[in-house]
Chain A
Amino acid sequence: MPIEILMPALSPTMEEGNLSKWLKNEGDKVVAGDVIAEIETDKATMEVEAVDEGTIGKILIAAGTEGVKVNTPIAVLLQDGESAADVGKSAAPAKAEVPAKAEAPSEEKVEAAKPAAAPVAAAPKTEIAADPDIPAGTEMVSTTVREALRDAMAEEMRRDGDVFVMGEEVAEYQGAYKITQGLLQEFGPRRVVDTPITEHGFAGVGVGAAMAGLKPIVEFMTFNFAMQAIDQIINSAAKTLYMSGGQMGAPIVFRGPNGAAARVAAQHSQCYAAWYSHIPGLKVVMPYTAADAKGLLKAAIRDPNPIIFLENEILYGQSFDVPKLDDFVLPIGKARIHKQGKDVTIVSFGIGMTYAVKAEAELRGLGIDAEIIDLRTIRPLDLDTIIASVKKTNRLVVVEEGFPQSSVGDHIANQVSQRAFDFLDAPVITIAGKDVPMPYAANLEKLALPNVGEVIEAVKAVAYR
């Protein structure tokens, strides 16, 4: 039987890709290992190799096709004795489902969250409330979070010669997640510095350079690896200003993907928002939209303090409207009302927002008008915005992906109970990741993360519905 060649998944978060080029034509013989096509993912251009021997019987997806879903048949390989007439009688492999797309566990009463890898796009559209920091009538450009981050760095590097970026694979490789793409070409190796795999050391080198007055952007390939460097971040970067009686601090940005990606298991799937938010002397920023990613990264680079800038790999490829402004800088420490509402307040940040946004859309169908607050900055925390909202809605649900104990939500619940107790009509509910190391198996991973159903149930509970 002819063999179907399927669109391969070439990274943990890849859902689809562009079939940029065929290197073999119909009728060509291939052996295992031959490069037959090139695929472009949001991170890189990759070669597709033949796994089996045979003759290309038919090309099913033409070169130049964009958005080809993983596991779509892209060609048919004929084996000895088969002819083009056999195309269409393919063997089974194509039908195999990718495990990540397995059915949701049935105990979910409400529609369960899609796997983390398939966020907002599928949900009914929530109109994002206008950000008062963006002038009305500003032209908006659809931009991915990835491009927004790169643009922010490039703009700040053009503006200030003391700004440079260092980290693993930031220069010649163009960024492990392509965030620094093009920076080496524009700014050269003096300002775009590839480091050895040496997190502890290069974090310290960055802090030392910052103490000497430069403005480093230190990229961690993921914040999981920054555990190696956490002493320099906390003991050197965060505390020097205080210990020197205000004489010298560290104007430095530590940035990189944080939290769970997809199927990368316990050591690569941890949210550090609560960890770093514990530390006086640090500011902790965790954007959700591309506009916030851009405006806040520019602000972080200009800020004279050490900033932890927590990104998310799953959000990198998502597009949002970004204002077309020459110099779009947002204030650190200010939450954004993502959607106005009157019945209940949902507070979230970073990728946690994807659950809040989807839940809100469903809640509207149930007649509940939720207000969504995107914190954007975890430290300093904009409690005033949260409390003003709670005074209006009298109900609060907090959503995050990090672990539950001593979570950001715990802190918010505590502060709201101290500062707005009389305004609460129900106990604050905090939704977090489960209190377990992140499992690898697709079904377990999904269970470990928060889901939309939990958010909806929590909102209904605080609304007594």
Chain B
Amino acid sequence: MATAARKAPAKSKSDGKSGLSAPKPAEFTKDEELAAYRHMLLIRRFEEKAGQLYGMGFIGGFCHLYIGQEAVVTGMKMALIDGDQMITAYRDHGHMLAMELSPRGVMAELTGRRGGLSRGKGGSMHMFSKEKHFYGGHGIVGAQVSLGTGLAFANRYRENNNVSLTYFGDGAANQGQVYESFNMASLWKLPVIYIIENNRYAMGTSVSRSSAETNFSHRGASFKIPGIQVDGMDVRAVKSAGDQAAEWCRAGNGPIILEMQTYRYRGHSMSDPAKYRSKEEVQKMRSDHDPIEQVKARLIDKKWASEDELKTIDKEVRDIVADAAEFAQNDAEPDPSELWTDIVL
């Protein structure tokens, strides 16, 4: 994936009424760069630890890591205001950390313990937080798109100023209900940002093998939903696109699509050997486009942080993750009585 192509504005004849093009990456202040660095690093280290705990048998079932895609949720979070909702599919740990959910709560859910966000009853793919407006964590590919559209419906119904951030992948983008939702969102001018995290593989099937239209920012054309292609490896580009999209929605223009061009370094899930792509492809993304390294390089270039200062941040992040892992391994399993709670109210 050529960086130039990724940064190209999404303007084309099939853009419907949009007239929108990818905004220039925001110029971050020192504080913003440092915050982005810290948040992305937390996700990276957390996911590495989750992978390790999976290998040790502490985490069961399916476990989908977000490593490589950290800039997407981190940049989008910077565009939110209080009360904005977020919903995604099953690759959700990073989204939860971005929504400031406790690393202990997330990790303990992964290990199926009582201190987990869903008290051990949801697992890696199904976590929620009403308090932080995080609506899951959904295991059915594409289902969250209709649900996220419903969150936006509630915003419009209540006439508040909030926006629903509805995330899905390039694989889910081929599900039928996505387009049913696009149609309703556009008809009813619902404030929803559809964030398509195009990490180039729907499980093991590459975008070109599964999608007739591989420019996902055009997927709303039939519904007059504008779309923007965004360099999802550059947190500044994500933040700028997020700001523009949120402004579009809050102004009452209805939905918008952001295609985040990103990449996952790990397999689809822990049990995926990822033989459908070359090691070189992965290595090239890591060395040329890593979202964290990009911020780190800028911080050092601009002399906003020294290597030592960054190491201190790294140490603090590692401590948080170690604490979460420690908690998640030692917390008790749910009480057997929990089997019968929370079924109906």
Contact = CB atoms under 8 A, between A and B. Distances in A.
A88 interface: no
B136 A205 contact: no
Contact of A208 (B119, B153, B187): B153
A204 B341 contact: no
A244 B127 CA distance: 6
B149 A204 contact: yes
Interface in A324-348: none
Q: Which of B120, B122, B180, B181 has the most CB of A within 10 A?
A: B180
Nearest to B164: A208
Given A231-B140, A305-B344, A245 B116 contact: yes
Contact of A196 (B87, B149, B183): B183
B143 interface: yes
B121 A245 contact: yes
Interface string B112-136: 0000111111100011111000011
| Residues of B in contact with A, size category | 35 or more
Contacts of A243: 118, 121-122, 126, 128, 136-137
B57 to A, nearest CB: 23
Given A212-B154, A246-B342, A249-B345, A200 B180 contact: yes
Interface string A236-252: 10001111111111000
B161 interface: no
Given A207-B150, A231-B143, A201 B184 contact: yes
B316 to A, nearest CB: 29
Contacts of B150: 204-212
Contact of B119 (A245, A280, A304): A245
A196 B223 CA distance: 13
B151 A208 contact: yes
B129 A195 contact: no
A279 B304 CA distance: 57
Contact of B147 (A195, A236, A247, A304): A236
Interface string B180-213: 1101100110000000000000000000000000
Contact of A204 (B119, B146, B157, B345): B146
Contact of B341 (A208, A232, A246): A246
A279 to B, nearest CB: 10
A202 B184 contact: yes
Interface string A199-241: 0111111111111111000000000000000011001100011
B148 interface: yes
Nearest to A190: B157
Contacts of A246: 119, 341-342
Contact of B184 (A196, A213, A231, A244): A196
A45 interface: no
Interface string B261-301: 00000000000000000000000000000000000000000
Interface of B: 85, 87, 116-122, 126-130, 135-140, 143, 145-155, 157, 176-177, 179-181, 183-184, 187-188, 341-345
Interface of A: 164, 190, 193, 195-196, 198, 200-214, 231-232, 235-236, 240-249, 280-281, 283, 304-305
11 contacts: A198-B180, A208-B152, A211-B135, A213-B154, A231-B143, A232-B146, A236-B140, A244-B128, A246-B341, A246-B342, A247-B130
